[in-house]
Structure 1
Amino acid sequence: MDYPKSVPSVGLVNGQFVDESPIAGSPGSLIPASWGNAVTEELLSVIRAAGLNPNESMNDQLLAALRGKELFDTAVQFDSSKKVATTEFVSRALGSFAGSRGVTAATELTVADIGWSIGLGGVTGYTVTLPEVGSVPAGAVISLHNRNGAVITVAGKSNGQISPQRSSLNSISMSAGESASFVKEGSYWVVYGTAALKYSSAFSNLLATSGYQRLPGGMILQWGSALAMPNDGNDGGSAGVDLYVTFPMAFSNACFSVLGTHVGHKPSLSIIMRNISKTRFTAESPDMNPQAFNYIAVGC
């Protein structure tokens, strides 16, 4: 759209229309019908696109069209151009979640689930598969919350795409009540939230008959079972009598305490702990024979 510069004898001055001047004897500019119609249609097309019917007696329809909801299209998801953003696009891209929904069975999430909060319902376990990490932009987020009573498995579309606490895994488990936000970072879905804690070295553990549990503050709990040898009264000085019990893992700094409980039918039998170090200890009992016991060790 422009002035009718290409039309001969229009009489533009400096590229614009001018009025007739009887005093100066200069004619005014002519407005060709084709140009006048083109300008009118240009304006009417905006009014019609907004869903309004052109009305000759109304002079504010163009403004109403520009303020209306029909004129501007919401850009596609993840659009990062300089197009005008509708409130719908802004709401979907920033601030609150784009929406929320629930699933109760095995589900493959798609790009359309980016920005959504999804509750994992039902009463049995199943697998939720995330979109291919390469199909979404950096910073894309999907948030999951397990309101199921069973364990839910969250898997990547391809192997090694899920990364809790710097790991590279095919899947993670979400126990009842746990939540996780999966954020596209590089070539991974990086996991944030309570579901990631069990994969942290601060919470590392060995859940077995003889095992351990680290806690974030530095405390380490260890447990196991062993035999307490008959007490010879020499505080562990004679070879061949003492039996060392090795902890499942060495304490980083020190073992503060080891508590033992007899396993058997002698309720008054005590277990005596000696030679406690970061890696092991010995145990004795006043009985004539070796006695089984369970222990808990506390250290850091």
Structure 2
Amino acid sequence: MFQIDNSSAITSQPASTPPGPAGFFTDGNPASNLPATIVPAEWLNSVMMEIVNAIKGSGQTLNKAAFNQLWTAMQYAAQNSGVTPPQFDVSTKNATTAFVQRALGNFSGFNAYNANTTLTAANFGQAIQSFAAGAMTLTLPLSNSSPNGFGQCIRFFNANSGISLLTIACQSSDFITAGLGGAVTSIVMQKGDTLELMARGTQEWDIVGGTAALQYSQSLGNTPAQFDNTAKLASTAFVQRALGNYSAQTLVVNGSIALTAAQAGQLIVVGGAAALTVTLPPIASIPAGAAFAFQNGNNPTVVGAAIIACAGSDKFALNGQTYASVPLGGGDNLIAVSDGGAWRVVGGSASLPYSAQFMLAGSGGTYQKLPSGLILQFGNGSAPAGGVANVTLPIAFPNQALAVLASGASNSAQVYIATAGFNNLASIFVSLANAAGAGIAVGYWWIAIGR
């Protein structure tokens, strides 16, 4: 394309004349004396400059030997001539690629509801939030009311107070295809859940996103290595394989230590050449259910017991009693679990002395029950004149009296003869006599065995 350049051309464009009535070219008609249309320089200049400006506007330089410059300018205009509307413009303006890219991921609008509401076709494409004080239901518009017939979506977010539920329900005979759940007519969303539904244009809605969809899915993932400790997602196989293990081990050998909340779930192994104290973290810093496991690996005949102590005024709760600390003898183990207010001992050999199956009971510790049902009872006293004393046992044997023994408790060199027997399951008698067989008032010890 080139601008006219022969010797009869002038160097500046003449001024335009006032516009006349719009018309059309004609070749004329001599028979009717209709003259042909005169093509003035003003019109030719107008056409020429329209073409020249289109070519130059596309960034090209006029080239007298090129005959496709107007076509190139038209292609450029098709790709670059749009004006990008404001980001959230909703008018009939043409959208540029920049406008479309900027709109991706957004919604057509937003609505929030705090009461049961039936949605309409106007809600398609929107993000919808619930913010009720209690549970509420939002009913979907009819699937076949989707403006485009199918493919239109609605996104929901449950922001109700507390843990209030949001139910998304269908109208009429509509249903939701819910993966493993099959066809359902409603979906319950927990607090914080999201849900995206797409209308199929008939009677069907499809779940296409959101956390509420997980209840209907079966996600299959890779199982990490057995002791993986990263942010990877765990499969059910990983969880099952981890059960029974501890999160880590802490070895305590060089003196006493105060544990922290970060060590919950660990096995704490006590070692070293001297007895030491391991102090639990403050109960207030630990959630209920957090646990610590302890093992004393020392030889009990060489190193004394370690002490597992509570922090501050915290206590162990054992057999209805509270204790500030529990000794952990060599070879012993102990599991302590927080209940939010105290440490509950739920296992381990170190808890056996506090068990009703083993612990000493009675005033000053005068009987002991064993897991087999055997009961040992013991005590002392002084025989009255005549040498016979009746003793009420600390507890009555519930089933059978097996044996009773007694001995004199005097420090003299005199020989005493002590005999004992059962009066019944609740009492015994002790008889003390000198070598001649005469009863004598003297101190004695006794032990009774039964079950």
Q: Specify the alignment match of 1:220 in structure 2.
A: 375
Query: Residues 230 and 286 of structure 1 are in contact (CA less than 8 Å); yes or no, is this contact kept in structure 2?
Result: no
Instruction: Find out whether 1:167 has 2:314 as its counterpart.
Output: no
* Residue in structure 2 matched with residue 272 of structure 1 by the alignment: 419
Structure 1 residue 145: Cα displacement? 1.0
Please, which moves more after superposition, 274-283 or 143-152?
274-283
Letter in structure 2 aligned against 1:131: P
- 1:166: Cα distance to partner? 4.2
Residue 396 of structure 2 aligns with which residue? Answer: 251
How far 1:150 sits from its partner (Å)? 1.0
Determine if contact 1:257/1:297 at 8 Å carries over to the other structure. Answer: yes
After superposition, residues 81-100 of structure 1 pair within 5 angstroms as: 84-85=233-234, 94-100=243-249
Residues 298/271 of structure 1: CA separation in 2 closer, same or farther (3 Å cut): same
Name the counterpart of 1:136: 286
Question: Would you say the 8 A contact 2:383–2:389 is kept in 1?
Answer: yes
Deviations along 1:148-177, one digit per CA (max 9) or x if unpaired, are 421222122242432233433322222222
Report the secondary structure of 1:202's partner residue.
coil
Structure 1's 260 and 113: CA in aligned 2 closer, same or farther, altered over 3 A?
same
1:243 alignment partner AA: A
Give the direction of change, closer, same or farther, for the CA distance of 1:110–1:285 in structure 2 (3 Å limit): same
Question: 2 CA distance for matches of 1:68 and 1:10?
Answer: 42
Unaligned runs of 5+ in 2: 1-84, 88-94, 105-221
SS of the residue corresponding to residue 323 of structure 2 reads: coil
Match of 1:179 among 328, 333, 339: 333
Partner of 1:107: 257
Aligned pairs for 1:1-300 (under 5 A) are 8=96, 74-75=230-231, 84-85=233-234, 94-104=243-253, 105-148=255-298, 149-191=303-345, 192-206=347-361, 211-227=366-382, 242-247=388-393, 249-253=394-398, 255-263=401-409, 265=413, 270-274=417-421, 276-287=423-434, 288=438, 289-300=440-451
Contact residue 92 and residue 115 of structure 1 kept, 8 A: no
Separation in structure 1 between the aligned mates of residue 280 and residue 241 of structure 2, nearest angstrom: 19
Query: RCO higher in 1 or 2 (8 Å CA, sep ≥ 6)?
Result: 1
The structural deviation recorded for 1:297 is: 0.5
Q: 1:284 to 1:132 in 2, by over 3 A?
A: same
TM superposition shift of 1:103:
0.9
Distance 1:103 1:11 in 2: 64
Cα shift at 1:221: 0.4
Superposed CA deviations along residues 190-235 of structure 1, whole A, max 9, x for unmatched, are 112111111122222059987221112332101233445687xxxx
Change (3 A) 1:176 1:276: farther
Residue type at the aligned position of 1:100: Q
Report the structure number with the largest CA radius of gyration: 2
SS at match of 1:134: helix
Amino acid paired to 1:271: A
Task: Provide the TM-score with structure 1 as the length reference.
Answer: 0.59
Could you tell me which amino acid in structure 1 is paired with residue 329 of structure 2? S
Structure 1 runs not aligned, ≥5 long: 17-65, 76-82, 232-240
Number of corresponding residues: 224
Distance in 2 of aligned mates of 1:196 and 1:274 = 35
RMSD: 4.3
What's the CA shift string for 1:25-84, capped at 9, x where partnerless? Answer: xxxxxxxxxxxxxxxxxxxxxxxxxxxxxxxxxxxxxxxxx9999xxx945xxxxxxx84
Identity in percent:
27
Report the CA distance between 1:11 and its aligned residue: 12
SS in 2 for 1:195: helix
Normalising by structure 2, we get a TM-score of: 0.41
Give the conservation status (yes or no) of the 8 Å contact 2:422–2:428. Answer: yes
- Aligned partner letter, 1:225: N
Kindly provide the amino acid, as one letter, of the partner of residue 402 in structure 2: F
Deviation at 1:122, TM superposition (A): 2.7
The whole-number CA distance in structure 2 between the counterparts of 1:292 and 1:141 is 51
Change in Cα spacing, 1:11 to 1:294, as seen in structure 2 (3 Å) is closer
